Amino acid sequence: MSFDVACSAEHAFEVWTSRIGTWWPPDHTVTGRAESVVLQGDVGGRIYERPADGAEHEWGEVTRWQPPTRRLRVE
């Protein structure tokens, strides 16, 4: 799937990752009733949901983190 968005790559990455809970549908989760969805941004970070009872349901782990602001070092 692909789509165009009217913003910078940096902003799109920020919203897609650190603000995942603002756009992810709460009924498209393990419990179907998530109050929050969290993606911890960095290698080893967790991706999980938390319903109203406070339990955490892990979805996975970040294995690669490459924000679009990453700069290549050229010597």
pLDDT value, residue 4: 87
Instruction: Mark out the alpha helices in the chain (DSSP H runs).
Output: 9-17, 20-23
pLDDT value, residue 1: 75
8 Å CB contact between 62 and 47 = yes
How many CB atoms within 10 Å of residue 48?
20
Mean pLDDT of residues grouped by 10 in the chain (75 residues)? 86 91 93 95 95 96 86 51
pTM of the predicted structure, to 2 decimals: 0.79
pLDDT value, residue 33: 93
8 Å CB contact between 17 and 39 = yes
8 Å CB contact between 22 and 15 = yes
